[in-house]
Structure formats: C-alpha cells, structure tokens
Amino acid sequence: MTPTISENQHYEYWANYYAGVSIVLRYTASVHVEDFDDAVFWEKTLNHFLPEQKFNFVYYSLSPKGNETTGCEQCLKYKDYLSDRFFICIDSDYRYLLQESDISPSNHIYQTYTYSIENHLCFISKLNAIPEKCTRIADHIFDFEAFLFSYSNAVYEAYIWHLYFLRIGDETSFSKDEFNRIIHLLQVVPDYDIANNGNAIILEMENRCNIKINSLKVPFPDVNIELEKTYFRTLGVTSNNVYLFVRGHNLFDLIVAIGKKNCDKLLDYQKIRLGNNRQAVAQLYTDTIKYEKELMNEIVFGGYGEMEKIEKDLNHIL
C-alpha cells in the first residue's frame, strides 16, 4: 500500500526537487512563476538586471492530486519551503498596497509591485511607438500617454475609496468585483472613440466612478479620503499612475483593443494612398506585426518606481 503524504510534505518535496534541479543544471536557482506569459516577463526581467545569472523557470507544478496547476496561489503553496535555490515571482494583486508583510525578497518571494505583469507591459512611455513599429507607418492618430493620464485621473478617487475599504477589511462596501466592473470598458464605446483620443471612454468611466463615490459619501461621512490619498501616495499611487495598480487584464485588454483599432486605421489610410497597387497593398499587410505581440515583447526597465523596486529586490539574489 502506497503511503499517503500531507499537502505540506508534497510541496516541501517539490521545493527540494526544484532546488536540486538548479544545482544539477548549474543554474543560479529555479523560479516558479504563475504561468507561461509570466515566465516570459520574469525571464526578460531577471536577464536584464542579473545578466550573469541563469535561471530555470517553472510555470506550472503538480497539485497533491497530480494535476498540472498554475497561478499565484499555486506559487504561494511553496512559501514555507523557499530558498536561495528555489524562489517564486508573483503578481502583487493587492498584496503590496495592503502591505502583506510576508511577501518579501527576504522570504524568497518577488513581486511586480503593479497589479500584475500586464500593467508593466502597458507602461506609458512605450505605447505611442508601438503602432508605428507594427505597421511601419508614422502614427499621429492616438496619444496613449494622454489617454492613460486621463484614465488614471478619472478612476483615481474611486480607486482610493476602494483601497480604503480593503485596507480596513470591508470587502463588501466596494468589492473587487464591483471595481473591476467599473473599469471594464471593452465594447462600451464604438471604435473606442479613437477619433477623439478615447474621450468617450474616459467620460463613461468618470460617470461610473462618480455614481459609486456619491453612493458612499452618505453612509460613510467620516471617511477622510484625503488622508487615504496621502497614505497610498507613500506606496507610489498617484492620480497620474493608477493604471499601474488596477486589474492588469482589464487594462491590457483595453489597450490591445485600442491599439488594434489604431493600427487598422493606419493601414486603411495607407491602403488608400497606395491606390490600385495590389502588390504594395499585399506587402503592407505581410509586413504588419500583431499589436498584442509587440506590446508583450517590449518591457521598459527603468524610469518608474515599480520597476525600480523590482530591481532593488533582485539584488538580494546576488
């Protein structure tokens, strides 16, 4: 009869196994990440900041029932068994802003400091160049930097209210699901109002946020929201960069949708300029790079606090 082992014994065994793999293969460490896309992000990031080191990436592992399992919760199953030879890299979600003390490089846990890797992939300084990279056509249609500044300012106060309730342990007055519904803006506005730099999207979100804020002010008159702003500013949240802290998939999907529309417009304009030159039109589309692929391919490794925090944390590995 095969002896059964506990869940703790299961994860301790595999933690030791992955640590051993790094020794046998002469890697610096094995790194468990949430899934394949996260492995790509963290591999590029570790290679950038620690170019002399080599890492073995694990993007799924077995549950006690033998199922191939991904995700942050799977990574955290190993937290009591991590070491210099086996550590985890996870999305912060709300963990950083709610100051979960055990999420620390001293515990061999590395985090994004944004909600997820997708927020890093949408960092503001790179976005305006991507449509031109995808189409090889000069782009003057959509200003992503201006849009994300407006996006952040529109959602800022509602987000601070949301964080306040999470910070005090009230997950019903302004829940995560409700906040994510507010920022879910796919297919809400025709063509994402690209002609007006997405202004209709911003107005829609401002309206949703104001309705929610007004519904909170009466039952919670004593909340000092300015004090909350001051507190979360010490953690890096400002009215100009909230896009880095909202649910990453919502942001990423919106930016991809706008980016694709923008590229389509550029290609349409260029197609008109090419007239009846079918060969040139065919080549135009052959040379085009998918917007989402290019967005995921490029990472900005400096110029903002959240990436600088990652760099500082990774120094613990040296």
Span 225-250, average pLDDT: 98
Domain ranges of the chain: 7-119, 124-298
| Per-residue confidence (pLDDT) for residue 195, from 0 to 100 | 94
Cα 219 to chain centroid, rounded: 33
Nearest to 220 by CA among 159, 179, 174, 177: 174
Span 232-255, average pLDDT: 98
**Phi, psi (rounded to 5 degrees) for 83:** -160, 180
pLDDT at 221 over 60: yes
pLDDT tens column, 120-136: 999 999 999 999 999 99
Distance CA 4, CA 192 (A): 55
- Is residue 289 within 8 Å of 110, Cβ to Cβ? no
Six-digit token pair at 92?
């912060």
pLDDT at 1 over 60: no
- Is residue 140 within 8 Å of 273, Cβ to Cβ? no
Share of the chain above pLDDT 90, in %: 88
| Per-residue confidence (pLDDT) for residue 262, from 0 to 100 | 96
| Per-residue confidence (pLDDT) for residue 209, from 0 to 100 | 98
What is the average pLDDT value for the chain, to the nearest integer?
96
pLDDT at 273 over 90: no
| Per-residue confidence (pLDDT) for residue 281, from 0 to 100 | 80
- The amino acid at 116: S
| Per-residue confidence (pLDDT) for residue 3, from 0 to 100 | 66
pLDDT at 62 over 70: yes
Higher pLDDT, 305 or 140: 305
CA dist 142 → 68, 257, 260, 264, 273 (Å)? 42, 13, 11, 12, 20
Distance CA 170, CA 165 (A): 5
How many CA atoms are closer than 13 Å to the CA of 81, on its beta-carbon side?
21
Name every residue whose Cβ is closer than 8 Å to that of residue 263 and which is 6 or more positions away in sequence.
131, 134, 135, 288, 291
pLDDT at 2 over 70: no
How many C-beta atoms surround the C-beta of residue 138 within 10 A?
10
Share of the chain above pLDDT 70, in %: 99
Q: Which of 39-53, 77-91, 127-141 has the lowest mean pLDDT?
A: 127-141
Pairing, β 55-58 against β 61-62:
unpaired
| Per-residue confidence (pLDDT) for residue 206, from 0 to 100 | 98
pLDDT-derived band at 208 (thresholds 50, 70, 90) equals very high
| Per-residue confidence (pLDDT) for residue 282, from 0 to 100 | 86
pLDDT tens column, 4-46: 789 999 999 999 999 999 999 999 999 999 999 999 999 999 9
Distance CA 289, CA 47 (A): 25
Cα 48 to chain centroid, rounded: 18
Q: What is the DSSP string of 203-265?
A: HHHHHHHHHHHHHHHTT-TT--HHHHHHHHHTTT--TTTGGGTS-HHHHHHHHHHHHHHHHHH
Handedness of CA 70, 73, 75, 81 (dihedral sign): negative
31 forms bridges with which residues in the sheet?
Answer: 57, 87
